[in-house]
Amino acid sequence: MRGLIIGRFQPFHLGHLATIKAALEEVDEIVVLIGSAEQSHTLENPFTAGERFQMILNALDDAGITSCMVIPLRDINRYAVWVSHIESMIPPVDVVYSNNPLTVRLFSEKGYDVRKPPMVQREAYSGTEVRKRILSNESWHDLVPRAVVKIIESVDGADRLRELALDEGSES
């Protein structure tokens, strides 16, 4: 059996990793779909698809997980054909893991087995929280896998976020 996990992974954090590990108790293989792949360099989507791809690959490698394929996918902004768009870009999946209400609805309407994985320490393990802490210079390293810290540091991710915040604040 093959499962599908969708996120923007801005950045990939320990909640995502926990969900992948739990899902691998139920399926043999997982497609990790990087959504909004075309987005980067905004406060909500600071990292490129390539950076997110590397974060996930390295974190899975460190965790000894070999049964995932990582696939970036751009948005098409048409919900009616979103599932077909995904189906055209990934191998067939039997189960979809998501807590996003729209994702749950769209895949359920197509007859998929959609499961809602329990959220792990959601107040801390969330992309929004990690980005907020990076921006405000609070400690964030313990919210993400070690490999993600390394990649964010290697691209000066904290500086990027701070400059994006200044840029957005100075737009006229």
User: CA–CA separation, 100 vs 97, rounded Å?
Assistant: 9
Q: Is 112 in the site for ligand ATP (CB under 6 A)?
A: no
Measured from each CB, the residue nearest to ligand ATP is 15
What letter does residue 125 receive in the DSSP assignment? S
Residue nearer to ligand ATP on the CB measure, 116 or 146: 116
Instruction: Give the per-residue contact string, 122-151, with ligand ATP (x = CB under 6 A; - = no).
Output: x--xxxx-----------------------
8 binds ligand ATP (CB under 6 A): yes
Rank residues 10 and 54 by Cβ distance to ligand ATP and give the closer one: 10
Closest CA to 31 of 49, 51, 6, 13: 6
The residue among 19 and 54 lying less far from ligand ATP, judged by its C-beta, is 19
**Segment near ligand ATP (CB under 6 A); pick from 47-55, 86-94, 97-105, 146-154:** 97-105
Comparing CA positions, the residue from 27, 43, 121, 21 lying closest to residue 8 is 43
Task: Count CB-CB contacts under 10 A for residue 151.
Answer: 23
Measured CA distances, 34 to 31, 39, 61, 123, 133 (Å): 10, 11, 17, 22, 22
- 100 is a contact residue toward ligand ATP (CB under 6 A): yes
* Residue 1 or 119 having the CB closest to ligand ATP: 119
Listed in order, strand segments (DSSP E) in the chain are 2-7, 29-34, 68-72, 95-97, 113-115
Shortest approach of ligand ATP to residue 172 CB, angstroms?
A: 27
By CB under 6 A, the residues from 44 to 83 that bind ligand ATP are none
Q: What residues make contact with ligand ATP under the rule CB under 6 A?
A: 7-10, 15-16, 18-19, 98-100, 117, 119-122, 125-128
